[in-house]
Amino acid sequence: MSFNICLVAKLEALQCHFTWNLEPNKTKLLRLNDKLVDIGTEEGNSWLGHIYNLQGFIQYKLGSTEDAQNFFNRAAEAFRQMRKADDGPWLVVNYGNLAWLHYHLGDQAESEAYLSKVDALMKKYPSPSQDELNAETYAEKAWTLMKFSTDKELVADYFQKAIEMQPDMVEWNTSYVIGLVSKMRVAKEQDPENLYLAAYYLEQCAKKREDVKDEARELAGKVLRNPVSSYNGMKAILRVYRNFVSIDEAIDLAEEALEHHPDERYLKRCAALCLKWKIIFFRDSGPKKCTTDRAVSLHEEVISLYPHSSLVKKIDLANIYAKSHDGMAQAEQMYQDLLRRRDLEPADKQVLYNHYAKYLNFDREDRNKSAQYHMKAAAIPIQSFYRANSIKVLEKIKNRSRNRRQIETFLENLPELHRKVAAERHKGVCR
C-alpha cells in the first residue's frame, strides 16, 4: 500500500496533461477533438506531437484507453521525426502521459518504467532551476492551456519563459503572438511561411484603416495552394474578405477551395460560414433562393460531418430558414427541437437562449418573449459573450418593455450587477 502511495505521489509531481487540471465536460472534449482533427497532420506540422498528446488525453477522458495509447505513441514518434533525435526534453510530457495511462490501466510495472524515463530525461536535460520547467514543457503546457483556458496571461507567461530559454523556436514565438495579438509584425517576419499569421496580421492592419485588398487577394492565392488545415489561414483570410474586401469574393474563395478539395469537411464548414454571413449579415433585399438553397445544403452536410459540434450550426441553419422567403415554420421547428433537448450543458443552453431571443426579436417581432429568453441566458452563471450580450440587451430595453419591472428586478438580483449598483450608491453617499 505504501508503495502505491509513493507511486501516486510521483505521478502527481509530473508535468503532463493528467496533472494540468484539464477537466472540461464531455461536450467540450468532443468539440476540441473536432478542432484538432481539422488542424491536419501533414508532414512538417511543428505542433504534431502536441496535437497527438492532447488527442490521447481526450481519448482517455472519453473512455477509450486503446486510442489514448495509440495517440501517445504517435506523439512520441512525431517528436522524434520533428526533432530528429531519439530522445530529448520534448518527451517529458509524453512519457508522463504514458506513466499515468499505464497506472490507470493497472500496469504498475509499465507506469514505473515511464517514470524512470522521465527521471532520466530530467537528469540529462535539467531545467534552469528547481522552481522552473524546461523550455519544451513550458511550450507544450502553454499550447495546451491555450486550447482550454481563458487565462491568456498565464499562457503568455509560459510561452514567454519558453522563448527566453530557446529564442530560436519560431513556432513558439508565432503561437505566443497569436495568443496575445501583439508583436505581430516581428513574428510575421520571423515566420514568413505561416499563412495563418499573415492573414491575422492583415486583419489587424485593416482594423487600423489600412487598405489591404491587394495583399488579401495575393495571400488568398497562397492559402489555396497550401495543404488543407485549420491552421493554413483559410478562415482568417475569409474574415478579412468579409470585413474589408467583399462578402461575395469571400464566398467565391471558399467555393474555389472546395472545388480543389471536394471531400474536405473543414472547407465545407468554411463555405457554409461564408454563406451564413451573406444571408444573416448582408441582407440588403433578402437572400436569393439559390444562395439559401446552397447554404441549407452545406449546413446540413456540415452538421452530419461534425456531430459533436453541431449545436451552433443547427442554430445557424434555423436562422437561415428564418431569413428565407418561406422558411419561418422550419426555423421555429428547429428551435423548438433544440429547446426540448435534455442533453445540453449549461453553456450550450446559454448560447441557445441568447440566439433564440434574438430570433424572437428580429424575425418573430415578439419583444416580450425575447426578453424572457435573454433573462434565461443571463441567469446561467457562466461568464461568456452570450451572457454579457443578453445582459446588455436587457439593460437597453428595460425602460421600454411591458415587462419593465420584471427586467429591473431580474437585473438588480444578478450578483455582479447587484455589486455594481451597491458600489455606485456607496460612491454617491461618500460624495
CA separation for the pair 35, 166 (Å, rounded):
28
Query: What CATH number does residue 92 fall under?
Result: 1.25.40.10
With respect to residue 323, please indicate whether it lies within any of the assigned structural domains. no
Tell me the per-residue pLDDT of 274-311, one tens digit each, with 9 for 90 and over.
999 999 988 655 678 999 999 999 999 999 999 988 99
Compute CA 316 distance to the chain's CA centroid, rounded to the nearest angstrom: 18
Q: Which helix (H) or strand (E) holds 273?
A: helix 265-281
pLDDT > 90: percent of the chain? 69
With respect to residue 244, please indicate whether it lies within any of the assigned structural domains. no
- Residue 383 burial (10 A CB sphere; 0-12, 13-18, 19+): exposed
pLDDT of residue 149: 74
With respect to residue 424, please indicate whether it lies within any of the assigned structural domains. yes
Domain boundary among 106, 126, 146: 126
Cell of 89: 526534453
Question: Which residue range is the domain that position 417 belongs to?
Answer: 349-431
Q: Of 187, 168, 169, 167, nearest to 177 (Cα)?
A: 187
Contacts 24+ apart (CB under 8 A), 419-422: none
Per-residue pLDDT averaged across 81-103, rounded? 95
Tell me the per-residue pLDDT of 212-267, one tens digit each, with 9 for 90 and over.
999 999 999 999 998 999 888 999 999 999 999 999 999 999 999 999 999 999 99
Domain boundary among 126, 143, 166: 126
Cβ neighbours for 381, distance < 8 A, ≥ 6 positions apart: 415
In this structure, are residues 20 and 144 in contact, taking their beta carbons and an 8 Å threshold? yes
Domain boundary among 111, 126, 141: 126
Which span out of 103-117, 121-135, 277-291, 398-412 was modeled with the highest average pLDDT? 103-117
DSSP per residue, 15-44: -SGGGTT----HHHHHHHHHHHHHH---TT
Cβ neighbours for 316, distance < 8 A, ≥ 6 positions apart: 272, 276, 280, 299
Tally of structural domains, the chain: 2
Per-residue pLDDT averaged across 155-172, rounded? 87
CA separation for the pair 65, 77 (Å, rounded):
19
Q: Is the pLDDT confidence value at 197 over 60?
A: yes
pTM value > 0.85? no
Other beta carbons within 10 angstroms of residue 207's beta carbon come to 11
Tell me the per-residue pLDDT of 257-278, one tens digit each, with 9 for 90 and over.
999 999 999 999 999 999 999 9
In this structure, are residues 146 and 115 in contact, taking their beta carbons and an 8 Å threshold? no
